[in-house]
Structure 1
């Protein structure tokens, strides 16, 4: 019996590793900022993963972590609390190794994400808000005798942050032939905090003089927790920008690896998507717009200080899953978002050097000062 169980685990691990070997690395795309010569911006395009988002890396790591810890067995139901993208990727890996999967997601999750979860064979369990996904996932795991993946706890520890082609290693490898191969800043955002933890730890492990800037949306507790040092903060509202921002401080959020945080208005994030669509010739998800505003602010600041260098920001997912929301004019009007003037202001900043019209809340920890 033990040998049979070990054989199933070994086969499952091999299937996941074989899937990884069939997948190429994601692209690093340069994006010109005409107003800031000498400051090079690159987008790490995580939408090119098989399941279309940054969360593909996390899901693979979570499954390997659970398998090697002995938490998954043949036939057991995998349950995850998610705002959508992680559930899509976990449904993919569950199907790959023949396990049933159930996603516990807020009812306002985009229909496209729900369809993607179901495409990979996942079941949907809707709850009213993001605050309810944790307890409901635990309850279902107990009732079904399954395993709750709990990305919000294990994201920062399931990924091998020292190597193994994590996102940080991939970025620095792809930057080697660029004019400024060591980025001054890497810009990302937090859903679990796992990606930020991986990048921040890798920078320190390798001794790079790079800094991490986290862009946080409205209705997220991460910025205030970082600024105050209080990990117990909670709020009632949920983030409009799917996949990032949380109503509570997740266990995978590691403030000490972050050098600066910026709170980005939702209007700015949504308008940035329209500017990026024209600049890239393609659509991106909402969190990419959030990251772009923070990166643009950093580029303007570097140029103003006479600094040359590079910035890498994460393009988290594509815009196909948001055609009925962020790219829907009627949806925007219902929420009183007038993105036209905001998009023009972003273009003026990127192309003419004008200041952004939003006074961004920012907070920096000065205990990590890179050598210059």
Structure 2
């Protein structure tokens, strides 16, 4: 009985520390990105790179730790294990360090050195595997052998965050838009890694009866887009949809993940990997915002949706996310030699974006 009381006391203190960290943190900025006035469309980017751990995944890591604590899965001394391509692991390493817990990330060898260095900076360590399909079982086995806890972001992301509100990202977006010309956006555009962000936003829109549609962008070869086209979730035929490992870090998956909820998504756009890089680079020159490739994926979808609004003569606003900063990708997506080795040529897609800005019409 005393041991259980000690466990509860430790968990109470851990939750206090996480909530105190949240209380010290300001909300992330919602930038207004200038567009041609005659388009009649306002674009806003929510800069998630300003979190302490530098990405959108800071929110997810906080939610996953709280979820593990209130369920009694995380106790004093528990080794935290995660399967992650980088940003989630960086954020979870930070929260593990905050609670004095060991942290190990399981990821592919292709993960950027910049992200690995950030994980290690926060006291975590990395187990590298050869293929994306190996990370799940490797993480689960490591947690079993260390008597630790496998966070399993791909299963728990959609249920660890309160989609009704409680300071989630959707509530934050609508609060920051309250004084804008078009406070209820026509579109919110996000990518899907675990599916947790799109599930949270999609549910929030429906729960609050907002006249806003959710568009999800997906890298080429990811399983999410065909799963959405199949019209179901993991309980239907969509569960068998398979893809390939994504070349855009943080989004896209080779399999249908449990946290991906296709039924709350209104529209999906499949984005070529080179187009993600092109839109990422264009943003830096156009708006002075230095972002990572998943932000580029978002923007490639944003430009198409805005073009549709212009063609319809529809005024309004569009919101998307700046998921993380470009500094994490100096050695790959911002490196011409790396792009060439990957067979990625962003130039034709950059030309398409320039054509769109010159005409307001999306190139065929």
SS at match of 1:160: coil
Q: Deviations over 1:55-80 (max 9, x none)?
A: 00000000000001000110010000
Alpha-carbon separation, structure 1, partners of 2:136 and 2:95 = 21
1:273 corresponding residue in structure 2: 280
Structure 1 segments, 4+ long, off by >4 Å, are none
| Aligned-pair CA distance for 1:234 | 4.4
**1:238 pairs with one of 241, 245, 253:** 245
- Cα contact 1:35–1:352 (8 A) shared by 2: no
Is 1:22 aligned with 2:24? yes
Q: Deviations over 1:199-233 (max 9, x none)?
A: 01111111110000000001200000110133223
- Cα contact 1:36–1:300 (8 A) shared by 2: no
Alpha-carbon separation, structure 2, partners of 1:58 and 1:231 = 25
SS at match of 2:240: coil
Give the TM-score taking structure 2 as reference length.
0.96
Alpha-carbon separation, structure 2, partners of 1:318 and 1:331 = 18
Is 1:53 aligned with 2:55? yes
- Say which is worse superposed, 337-346 or 109-118, in terms of deviation: 337-346
| Aligned-pair CA distance for 1:353 | 1.7
The aligned runs of 1:201-220 (5 Å cut-off) are 201-220=203-222
| Aligned-pair CA distance for 1:115 | 0.4
Runs of at least 5 residues in structure 1 that lack an aligned partner in the other structure: 358-372
1:70 corresponding residue in structure 2: 72
Alpha-carbon separation, structure 2, partners of 1:163 and 1:207 = 13
- Cα contact 1:33–1:351 (8 A) shared by 2: no
1:367 corresponding residue in structure 2: none
Question: What do you get for the CA RMSD once the two structures are aligned?
Answer: 1.2
Q: Deviations over 1:99-135 (max 9, x none)?
A: 0000001110000000000000101000111111110
Runs of at least 5 residues in structure 2 that lack an aligned partner in the other structure: 232-236
1:361 corresponding residue in structure 2: none
Give the TM-score taking structure 1 as reference length.
0.94
Alpha-carbon separation, structure 1, partners of 2:227 and 2:348 = 32
Alpha-carbon separation, structure 2, partners of 1:108 and 1:300 = 35
Q: Deviations over 1:145-184 (max 9, x none)?
A: 0000000000000001111110000000000111100001
| Aligned-pair CA distance for 1:347 | 2.0
Q: Deviations over 1:8-27 (max 9, x none)?
A: 00110000011001110001
- Cα contact 1:74–1:99 (8 A) shared by 2: yes
Q: 1:95 to 1:346 in 2, by over 3 A?
A: same
Is 1:335 aligned with 2:342? yes
1:39 corresponding residue in structure 2: 41
